Structure 1
Amino acid sequence: MENTQSKVQSSTPEKQHSLEAGTYEIIRNRLQQQSDKLELRLEQLNALRKETFGTVEPQLLANERLNTGNFCIARDMFALGQYCIFGYNVHIGLRSGIQLADVFNVYRLEGNTFREAGLELLKHEKFEIDFQNLYRYYKDAFFVRFVRQGSYLYMTFQVSNNAGDIKAFKWLIRENDLQYVDARSEHEIRAVQQFEFRWKRIDRDQHRKGLHPHVSVLDRVFVETVGGDLTIKVEDNTEDGRGIYREEVLHQDQTLDDAEYLYADLGNLIVLKIRPYQEGFRYFVFNEKMQEVQRIDALADSGVLLPDGQGLIFSNGYYLQTGEYKLFESVGRGWKFESRINAPNGEDYLYSFYNQAAGQSILMAYNVITQAVETPIRCHGFAIFADGTMGYFRSEEEATKHHMIQLWQTPFGSNPVLAREHTDSYLSKLGNKEIVKAMAECREILSLTHKEDSYADLYADLVSRCTDVLDSYYWINHQETFRLGEVLQELRDTAKTAIDEYEKKLSIQRTTQSAIERVRAQALDLFRQIGQENFESVDVFVYALSELRRLKGAIVSLEELRYTDKEFIAEMMERADQYQEDLSGQCIRFLLSDTALLPYQERINQHRDELEKITSALDGKALEEAIEKTAQELQLLIEIVNNLHITDANDSTRIIDQISALFATLNQLKGGIQKKHRELAGTEAQSAFRAQIKLLDQSTINFLDLAKTGKQCDDYLTKLLVQVEELEGQFAEYDRFIPILSEKREEIYIAFDSRRKAIAEALHKRTDQLQLAAERILKGVSSRLQNFRDAEAINGFFASDIMIEKVRDIIRQLQELEDSNKAAALQTQLKSLREEAVRQLRDRQDLYLDGENIIKLGQHHFDVNVQPLDLSIIERRGALYYHLTGTDFYELIEDAELNELQEVWSQELISEDAGVYRAEYLAYRVFQQWLRLEDRQNADLEALVKEAVNQRYNEGYTKGIHDQDALLILDELVKLYETIDLLRYPSDIRAFAYLLWHHALTEADRQLLQTQLRGAGTLLRVFPNGSTFDYLREEIQEALSKQVE
């Protein structure tokens, strides 16, 4: 076989050797261990399979020579049983004719040696005539090759300079014999389909417009030929023209529409066929899992699918779904797919490609288990015999009589030999092809375990493939198949675990990359600033050197991150060291100048001036922070100077002395500012403390008002105590405030404790009232239940009656008030009342006649008195008697005082008697209410009457009658009251007041009293219920009393 250069993609990941390997690395190592275990068991199974079914390993058997009678150039060979038909062309020269032996000869393969067998196999009168006619009519005719299609063999001859101008002799193959058919069947020779997939063209719907337009291929890969290059991208981003693959095109100004785009979807692989403007097609294979692109020009000639969808094979190599590929660079263009020969063992396939111009074939043997093609065979003709022996030859450039044939042992024979001694084994029952198919799928799983984790959905694919194998082959866990299922199950479980851990790894990598990019941006920005700075002051040097030190710290921190970029860290650290070294030299030279530290001296002088202007502690704190910042900068300058490489000790001493002098001055300022701050802070703290105490007192009052439950009391108390603790922390340095805060804490606690107790008492009182109200309702309900005649009525009553709903509402209120005991007791009473009512109804229906108060005993009926026994007073025969209801008991009441009120014994209402109509009584009561109003003029009399009727329901008022009569009477009464002035008072009182005013009081007393009464009247019109002028009334009463005496 010829040597070829191949390009193989490595998929084996590097092993993790870090002692600090994380969970993900541990899982990867476990996956590799399980992969090795699976590979070992596959090798064991493969060895047993070969032992069971036998195996034919490809190996060279012999180099044999075929001898011809004339000098000729060999063209092709064909195997029929153990016979070999050898085809060739001789130079006729001056000979008048050509014989059959000048083109064909037949040999028999015996062992590894060819024996000439004569032309008896081809002896046929019609064939010989057609053969002679061919060379008679076509002077340039020559033999090309043998072509087999089904059961027919075609001997093809080219009859002109045009390769497509052929003639063919057709033979029928009958086992090991040939039967001639005709010489007119060249049209039956069909061209083999070169592509086992269909190209699909991209239309305008898949065009994506933008700054960098492209076409979308299934939304999985994106292609464009604009901007001077052909670019293949994996992101649908038209704002960015970058991609994973790029190569130049001839016409840089072409648009997206100028190119042609075709594709074929082969699972993980997408084959692209792209023709830029005015160029030929270019062919690419995009691997979606690996996110890689490989240009393969051989796809212009043919593309054949590998078994079980394992990938794609072409004339100069193959590309697998898992990402492995191999290209044989010595194979050029022009090779067409000719045939695929399947070995009976189900694992080996032979692909042949034919180059018509060169008259040569390329043979590639593919194994579905190893999923690889060894070095292809390049030859002019080949033949495979029934036992699998394959012979092939390469023609010499010069005509010769001796033609070298290589004989190889291959598995492609039509009569495989099965190992007889193992025909009853478990594997023989399964069949070789079944086992080969399973092993091929396991090999794919092994290939995935060797992938880098950049392989898209690696672990999900592992889980899926393992699950498919476990579900597809029932025998996978059998002992004789080495329990492959156990390892596959372990691999699947590990892959499932790796899915989550890989996401964590990606998250860590993104975080690390983000940190690297942040440091990169920080470093580049700092380097740019340093390059643009003039360095005319010490501040600039201090800033630059401190930032460089900070940057180096950030770079060192990157080393602690997982999955960091060591090369970037080394590069950035080297650049930072170089900048630091250059700046250090410049800084030393600058510090030795007389004006180097002048900015610090000016800043210290400014601090001294600001110290004299401080009026508050806040200003003092700000100045203290400014002084501290200056001190830090000086300290940083000292550290920087100490780290500088100063060769002259005098220079170093001089710089340090200058900085120390500045430090001494700065320390004096620190002492002054601290003293001033303490003086101002004491006064301000006192004012702040008083304000905080007032705020705390107000918060306490507000929270006490808001607290409606015990829990709220505890919550608000906690908030206030937290405020007290915060105040203690705020004023911790002032001891005189601590006792005040302690007393305040005790006061707050006592106040909320009292509030909690008051709330508890009110709650208890409220729940007691609700319970009593519910019990009164239930008592009334018990009486009403005696009137029901069936259980449905009782159930309906309990379901819809308003009083029952009221009881349930009381139960809900008790539950909301968290008194579950009372609520449960009422719930039990309500339930018991219903059950008791139903039970009593059932008893009455069983004892009483037709539900009436009559008991039937035999033929006799007895009335039952159901009146409740109650004591009452009734009028009888002009006197009052005690009476027990439901009985004949009467007893005369002898009471003189009661007898005096005999005239009202028959009065039914308190609002009406024989002399007073109840509407008049109602009008009088409302009139009395009206007199007590502050704003009588705007009073609504009708509303007052309605309110009185609603409140005095026991006085027997009928709405629409008594309220309307009372309103008419009231209206007239109010009008009369407002017009009669003093006539509203009795005449004797008016006469007595007249005598007192005109005869008992002096003129001076009358004027004084009139002034006082006028002022009192003015105020009483505004505040009619006030008691401010009660003393004036008392003085008038006293004067009247004296006059009466």
Structure 2
Amino acid sequence: MDAGTGLDAGTYEVLRDRLAAQSRMLAERAAALNERRVAAFGSTELTLTGTESIRTEHSCVPRDIVAIGGVLLFGYHVNPGPKPRTAVGDAFALHDRGLNRLPEDAVPGLLDDPAFEREFAALFRYYRGARLRQLRRVEDKLLAVFQTGEKAADIRVLRWALSTDGRAEFLDARGERDHVFPPSHDFTWTEATREDHVLGRHPHISIGGEVFVETVGGTLTVKTEDDTETGAGVYEEPVDEPLQSLADADVAHARVGALILLRVRPYKEDAWRHLVFNTLTKTVVRLDGIGQACRRLPEDQGIIFPGGYCLAMGASKVFDGIDTADLAFERAVRSPNGEDVLFAFHARAAGRNLLLSYNMIRKEIATPLSCHGYALFDDGTLTVLRADADEPSRVHPLQSWQSPYVSDTHAAAAPVGEGPLARVGNADLVRGISDCLSIARAVTDTTPTSAMYETLAASCVRAADSSHWLGESELGTCARPSKRSAPPPNRFSPSSRPSRPSPGRPPTRSPNPPCTSPPSSAASAARHRAPPPSGSSGSPSSGRRRAVC
């Protein structure tokens, strides 16, 4: 008997097997519903469709690209040399979808505006070493960011207003207030205080009473038990200074769904260490990438940071071979059906981008795209400026990707279907299917703990409340439990045993009393043998040991 749960081992095994069977049934029904959804609405994965190149008249360093309607604006830097003035064509060029060069008036009001030409000429007249650093679309504005000095803050931003009909209107050269990046983290770190210290033989810092951290004794230790009599924990790593007290280290934490993020700086160390504690699996993983930028995944499925991710179900990954230095979060683009989210990170000084596409149903990130710029068209075509080299060249390779990130207007133009799937809508179907698959994976892919079962129960309630249609028969009845056939009666159960006679009453003999001696192994094997040859009696009792009844 388990004192904590009040269940014996046999009862727990039965309940666990039933839960596993129900989770398999839920996964099958959700997968079948997702196949119907894909057949009705379609689903686009991030797929490479081709590799092409932009050719320029002079050798230049590519800086960025951006889509304006159906036109591609290519920004680059040309060494002016002995030229008396820098022309617009030395920094910008327009191309069509086939990468053919277009005249500067192909987009009215963009490069042919007289006010823009005056500001552009004045920029290079007063700042001879000015160079284009980035092209950005911020809502309905286009920003061209030029660096005018040696410091990163020395910038001048030209800006345009973009209309839905593909026209542009130059505003001014004071777009610095629009050139603002969102916060690198969408959560707040909470610093540990003296009130969180738990003293004892092996003191530690309590993080909400769920996890405990200490840096004494020469190691950074993470424990799951509030026990100061032992210094052992679920995670340990050495620190530079072994002689330090509990108050010498700086510790902060943040809660993101089932994950507790820890930020620790031991005594006499300059760099912060970042750990992730999973309250469901009781495991710890070190992910220092969350220090420079970190964002929540949809529905609190985990976190994503430059170069990797960590899921609430326990999976985590860091992509090797990707330069993540100085990357900051720039923006997130969600597909109209809510199935995919594109996270864009940008290094301002180097002009480098990293694109990470996350799928809510598959719970995975597609191939990371490291580039010098990207352009996203209304039909979902993603054009990426390869980051192969920073040397001047006349040929600049581009990649074209098919993506699910179509514009809202493009998605709204799609024909509206009929039936139960169309009644619910693609976005709500994605959310409900994702919740069901997350619940099924939680049963099979996580370590059974009381916290996991509590979270599982809460997830079931939340899924049923947010997706009321899960129980409908037309939509797969994901919210209804599978019907189980009744187990066969146990011949040795108490109900099948002969009743004990009452005092003073003769015992009653059962017409078919159970045998007290089971058949021998030979008899068991005989039942599976081939039929006897002709001439033999073929009696079913032949070859059996006589049972004692």
The TM-score range, normalised by the shorter chain, is: 0.7 to 0.9
TM-superposition CA deviations, 1:929-963 (whole Å, max 9, x none): xxxxxxxxxxxxxxxxxxxxxxxxxxxxxxxxxxx
Aligned to 2:453: 459
TM-superposition CA deviations, 1:309-331 (whole Å, max 9, x none): 22111112111222222221333
Aligned to 2:392: 399
Residue 230 of structure 1 pairs with residue 220 of structure 2: yes
User: What is the alpha-carbon distance in structure 2 between the residues aligned to residue 227 and residue 137 of structure 1?
Assistant: 60
- Aligned partner (choices 56, 59, 68) of residue 68 of structure 1: 56
Cα pair distance change 1:54/1:230, threshold 3 Å = same
Residue 294 of structure 1 pairs with residue 285 of structure 2: yes
User: What is the alpha-carbon distance in structure 1 between the residues aligned to residue 160 and residue 437 of structure 2?
Assistant: 43
Cα pair distance change 1:397/1:267, threshold 3 Å = closer
Moved over 6 A (4+): 418-422
TM-aligned CA deviation for residue 141 of structure 1? 1.1
Aligned to 2:363: 371
Higher helix fraction (1 or 2): 1
Whichever residue aligns with residue 192 of structure 1, its letter is P
Residue 246 of structure 1 pairs with residue 220 of structure 2: no
Cα pair distance change 1:262/1:452, threshold 3 Å = closer
Aligned to 2:517: none
Aligned to 1:119: 104
Query: What is the CA RMSD across the aligned residues, in angstroms?
Result: 2.1
Percent pairwise identity: 35
User: What is the alpha-carbon distance in structure 2 between the residues aligned to residue 457 and residue 488 of structure 1?
Assistant: 25
Q: How many residues matched? A: 467
Higher strand fraction (1 or 2): 2
Whichever residue aligns with residue 321 of structure 1, its letter is A
TM-superposition CA deviations, 1:884-935 (whole Å, max 9, x none): xxxxxxxxxxxxxxxxxxxxxxxxxxxxxxxxxxxxxxxxxxxxxxxxxxxx
- Aligned partner (choices 54, 72, 79) of residue 91 of structure 1: 79
User: What is the alpha-carbon distance in structure 1 between the residues aligned to residue 103 and residue 231 of structure 2?
Assistant: 70
TM-score norm. by structure 2 comes to 0.81
Q: Secondary structure at the match of 1:427?
A: helix
Cα pair distance change 1:226/1:99, threshold 3 Å = same
Aligned to 1:765: none
User: What is the alpha-carbon distance in structure 1 between the residues aligned to residue 431 and residue 423 of structure 2?
Assistant: 15
Cα pair distance change 1:426/1:101, threshold 3 Å = same
User: What is the alpha-carbon distance in structure 2 between the residues aligned to residue 194 and residue 294 of structure 1?
Assistant: 21
Cα pair distance change 1:460/1:223, threshold 3 Å = closer
The answer as to whether partners of 1:77 and 1:84 remain within 8 angstroms in 2 is yes
The answer as to whether partners of 1:268 and 1:289 remain within 8 angstroms in 2 is yes
Whichever residue aligns with residue 398 of structure 1, its letter is E
TM-superposition CA deviations, 1:516-543 (whole Å, max 9, x none): xxxxxxxxxxxxxxxxxxxxxxxxxxxx
Residue 351 of structure 1 pairs with residue 336 of structure 2: no
Residue 328 of structure 1 pairs with residue 319 of structure 2: yes
TM-aligned CA deviation for residue 23 of structure 1? 5.6
Cα pair distance change 1:221/1:340, threshold 3 Å = same
Is there any run of 5+ residues in structure 2 with no aligned partner, and where? 1-8, 485-549
TM-aligned CA deviation for residue 455 of structure 1? 4.0
TM-aligned CA deviation for residue 187 of structure 1? 3.6
Residue 197 of structure 1 pairs with residue 191 of structure 2: no
Q: Secondary structure at the match of 2:170?
A: strand
TM-aligned CA deviation for residue 29 of structure 1? 4.4
Q: Secondary structure at the match of 1:86?
A: strand
Higher RCO, Cα 8 Å, sep 6+: 2
The answer as to whether partners of 2:256 and 2:296 remain within 8 angstroms in 1 is no
The answer as to whether partners of 2:138 and 2:178 remain within 8 angstroms in 1 is no
Residue 208 of structure 1 pairs with residue 193 of structure 2: no
The answer as to whether partners of 1:51 and 1:419 remain within 8 angstroms in 2 is no
Q: Secondary structure at the match of 2:34?
A: helix
User: What is the alpha-carbon distance in structure 1 between the residues aligned to residue 431 and residue 483 of structure 2?
Assistant: 19
Matches within 5 A, 1:840-855: none
Q: Secondary structure at the match of 2:479?
A: helix
TM-superposition CA deviations, 1:653-682 (whole Å, max 9, x none): xxxxxxxxxxxxxxxxxxxxxxxxxxxxxx
The answer as to whether partners of 1:78 and 1:146 remain within 8 angstroms in 2 is yes
- Aligned partner (choices 157, 166, 169) of residue 158 of structure 2: 169
Is there any run of 5+ residues in structure 1 with no aligned partner, and where? 1-20, 491-1045
The answer as to whether partners of 1:172 and 1:178 remain within 8 angstroms in 2 is yes
Aligned to 2:37: 49
Matches within 5 A, 1:429-448: 429-448=423-442
TM-aligned CA deviation for residue 336 of structure 1? 0.7
TM-superposition CA deviations, 1:349-376 (whole Å, max 9, x none): 0001112233211111111111211221
Aligned to 1:486: 480
Cα pair distance change 1:191/1:60, threshold 3 Å = closer
Cα pair distance change 1:429/1:94, threshold 3 Å = same
Q: Secondary structure at the match of 1:188?
A: coil
Whichever residue aligns with residue 394 of structure 2, its letter is K
Q: Secondary structure at the match of 1:227?
A: helix
User: What is the alpha-carbon distance in structure 2 between the residues aligned to residue 27 and residue 326 of structure 1?
Assistant: 33
TM-aligned CA deviation for residue 41 of structure 1? 2.0
User: What is the alpha-carbon distance in structure 2 between the residues aligned to residue 137 and residue 47 of structure 1?
Assistant: 61
User: What is the alpha-carbon distance in structure 2 between the residues aligned to residue 246 and residue 489 of structure 1?
Assistant: 47
Q: Secondary structure at the match of 1:406?
A: strand
TM-superposition CA deviations, 1:19-71 (whole Å, max 9, x none): xx956445544444433332222222112112222332332222222222211
Whichever residue aligns with residue 293 of structure 1, its letter is V
User: What is the alpha-carbon distance in structure 2 between the residues aligned to residue 433 and residue 239 of structure 1?
Assistant: 52
TM-score norm. by structure 1 comes to 0.43
Cα pair distance change 1:235/1:376, threshold 3 Å = same
Cα pair distance change 1:469/1:188, threshold 3 Å = closer
- Aligned partner (choices 425, 428, 449) of residue 419 of structure 2: 425
Q: Which moved more, 1:464-473 or 1:373-382?
A: 464-473
User: What is the alpha-carbon distance in structure 2 between the residues aligned to residue 452 and residue 444 of structure 1?
Assistant: 11
TM-aligned CA deviation for residue 255 of structure 1? 1.3
The answer as to whether partners of 1:86 and 1:106 remain within 8 angstroms in 2 is yes
User: What is the alpha-carbon distance in structure 2 between the residues aligned to residue 469 and residue 324 of structure 1?
Assistant: 22
Aligned to 1:802: none
The answer as to whether partners of 1:52 and 1:422 remain within 8 angstroms in 2 is no
Q: Secondary structure at the match of 2:100?
A: strand
The answer as to whether partners of 1:32 and 1:450 remain within 8 angstroms in 2 is yes
Whichever residue aligns with residue 420 of structure 2, its letter is Y
User: What is the alpha-carbon distance in structure 2 between the residues aligned to residue 314 and residue 413 of structure 1?
Assistant: 24
Residue 309 of structure 1 pairs with residue 297 of structure 2: no
Q: Which moved more, 1:313-322 or 1:22-31?
A: 22-31
